[in-house]
């Protein structure tokens, strides 16, 4: 098996991306995107490919103390950034997990997975979808956005194995239900 660091961006690339996301977040409020993903107070959320954590932090603010956010990424700097942001905001309902696919979470334990701007980077999407399907509760939601892909590409990629049904889109956030 290959080591999971085969897919890391360099630290410099990650830092540049983080800087770019700071600018992006000034124009596109991460809270709006998280609301479009239909996250509710009390939800247990996975933010897969969380990057520096804009959406994981917004999600943690929505789910509140009765919910939880698992911020997951392959890159160690992502997890460091998320931890720092959570600390700064006084949020104790975010946990970080480092992985390139397999997720150390129980079967049927998650209400919503958000996957923002990540799908185009995954070369083993089927393996990821299988894992998402495993950890989601029945009828729970997978919310995807990816400006690198068209709506029809996103829908066909996510529904290709008949593990997810397309429900609707909220301003370029595509909502799927586990079936
Ligand atoms: C373009 S960034 C998006 C970050 C964040 N979702 C956002 O929208 O601000 C993509 C992220 O996915 C992560 N990533 C790429 N491949 C991954 C994999 N196989 N498993 C987990 N994370 C991955 C990268 O490290 C990076 O942080």
Structure tokens at 33: 């995107």
Distance in Å, CA 75 to ligand 1 centroid: 8
* Structural domain spans, the chain: 41-178
Residue in this structure with the two tokens 């479009």, named with its chain if needed: 36
Structure tokens at 7: 């897919």
Q: Is 122 in the pocket of ligand 1 (CB under 6 A)?
A: yes
CATH no., domain 41-178: 3.40.50.150
- Please state, in angstroms and as integers, the Cα–Cα distance from residue 73 to each residue in 26, 47, 116, following that order: 23, 9, 12
Q: Is 78 in the pocket of ligand 1 (CB under 6 A)?
A: yes
**CA nearest ligand 1 atom 12, residue:** 49
Structure tokens at 138: 């029945």
Res. 174 pLDDT band, cuts 50 70 90: very high
Burial of 104 (0-12, 13-18, 19+ CB in 10 A): exposed
What pTM was estimated for this model as a whole? 0.96
Residue 4 has pLDDT above 60, yes or no: no
Report the alpha-carbon distance of residue 111 to residue 63 in Å, rounded: 11
Radius of gyration of the chain (CA): 15
pLDDT, position 5: 45
**Segment 125-140, tens digit of pLDDT:** 999 999 999 999 999 9
pLDDT, position 1: 33
- Which residues are CB-neighbours of 73 under 8 A, at least 6 positions away? 49, 50, 51, 79, 82, 96, 98
Q: What average pLDDT does the segment 117-121 reach?
A: 97
CA 31, 80, 119, 130 torsion-angle sign: negative
The answer to whether residues 130 and 163 touch, using CB atoms and an 8 Å cutoff, is yes
Distance in Å, CA 46 to ligand 1 centroid: 13
Q: What's 65's DSSP letter?
A: T
**Segment 28-69, tens digit of pLDDT:** 999 999 999 999 999 999 999 999 999 999 999 999 999 999
Q: What's 5's DSSP letter?
A: G
* Residues comprising the chain, all counted: 179
Structure tokens at 24: 């992006």
Q: What average pLDDT does the segment 155-159 reach?
A: 98
Q: Is 53 in the pocket of ligand 1 (CB under 6 A)?
A: no
């Amino acid at each position: 098996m290959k080591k999971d660091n085969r897919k890391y961006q360099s630290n410099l690339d990650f830092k540049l991306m983080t800087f770019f996301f700071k600018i992006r977040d000034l124009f596109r409020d991460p809270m709006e995107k998280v609301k479009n993903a239909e996250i509710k107070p009390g939800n247990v959320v996975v933010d897969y490919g969380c990057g520096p954590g804009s959406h994981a932090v917004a999600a943690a603010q929505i789910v509140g103390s009765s919910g939880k956010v698992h911020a997951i990424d392959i890159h160690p700097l992502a997890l460091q950034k998320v931890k720092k942001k959570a600390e700064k905001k006084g949020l104790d309902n975010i946990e970080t997990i480092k992985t390139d696919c397999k997720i150390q979470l129980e079967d049927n334990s998650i209400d919503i997975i958000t996957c923002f701007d990540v799908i185009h980077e995954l070369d083993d999407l089927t393996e990821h979808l299988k894992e998402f399907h495993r950890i989601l509760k029945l009828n729970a939601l997978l919310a995807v956005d990816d400006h690198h892909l068209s709506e029809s590409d996103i829908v066909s990629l996510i529904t290709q194995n008949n593990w997810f049904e397309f429900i609707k889109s909220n301003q370029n956030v595509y909502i799927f239900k586990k079936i």
